[in-house]
Amino acid sequence: MRIKSNNIFGVNIERLLKNAENIGLKFEECNQGLRATRGYGDRESYRFGSNNDLRAILKDDILKLHLTSYSGICGFEFEEDDLFGKKIECYGDVYDCMLMMDVLKLLDGCVDTRLDDYELIEVEE
C-alpha cells in the first residue's frame, strides 16, 4: 500500500485506538474530533528543521493522516516495502524508519476503505 503525505481512510475506530495505544500515540479531543501528533528526530533535527511529523485526526470513522518532513515543509510518502531493506546511512534514516513503522502499525487491520477528497465531501454533506 502506498502511504501519501495526505491520507484519508475509513477505519474501525476501536482497532485504530488500540493500535495507537500499542505505539504510544495518544489521541486527545479537539474541535475537529480526536487528534494525535508525534514528531520524529533528535535535538539537532528539530534545531535545523529536518524532523518528521505524523498528525492524525479522527472524526466518526474517518481518519485523516498527514505525514510531513523538514518541519512541515515537505510531504513524506512511502510504499510499504520501502521499510524493508532500507539502508541506514545517517540518523535521519533511523527516524524515517521509525515514522514508517509507526504508520504501518497504526493502520494494521483497521483500514476499511481508502477515501479521496471527493468521496469525503460527499460523506460530510
Query: Measured between alpha carbons, how far is 70 from 80 in angstroms, rounded to an integer?
Result: 21
Domain that holds residue 119: 2-124
Q: Tens digit of pLDDT for each residue in 45-89? A: 888 888 999 999 999 999 999 999 998 889 998 988 877 777 777
- Nearest CA among 25, 32, 84 for reference residue 54: 25
pTM for the whole structure:
0.85
Q: Tens digit of pLDDT for each residue in 24-48? A: 999 999 998 999 999 999 988 888 8
Work out the mean pLDDT of the chain and round it to a whole number.
Answer: 88
Instruction: Please answer whether residues 76 and 5 qualify as being in contact, where contact means their C-beta atoms are separated by less than 8 angstroms.
Output: yes
Domain tally for the chain?
Answer: 1
- In the predicted model, is pLDDT for residue 125 greater than 60? no
